[in-house]
Structure 1
Amino acid sequence: GTQTVVDTGVSWLVNRDCMLDAMIVHGLNRNTPDLSLAFGISIRR
């Protein structure tokens, strides 16, 4: 079935070569998980 969510996220540029990010997702119907979290890191080499 259809999944409906609302989400938001933030990112932080630690320095020129590193960025951290986080996201939270809230499901709005029965076909969608109630809550999801995601974290990430990006590194430029």
Structure 2
Amino acid sequence: CGGCRQRLREFAGPDAVIHATTVDGAELTVTMADLLPASFGPEFLAN
């Protein structure tokens, strides 16, 4: 879901590689940016 993806994004940069596998064994490898484009991450927060 989008909420889960956003939580992942808070700890992973846009170039982080995500590996997913279904119970049937199908595999998918994408970057965080592919999984959640135009996301809000910690780099947008002021120091």
TM over 0.5: no
Q: Which structure: greater strand fraction?
A: 1
Bigger radius of gyration, 1 or 2? 1
Q: Which structure: greater helix fraction?
A: 2
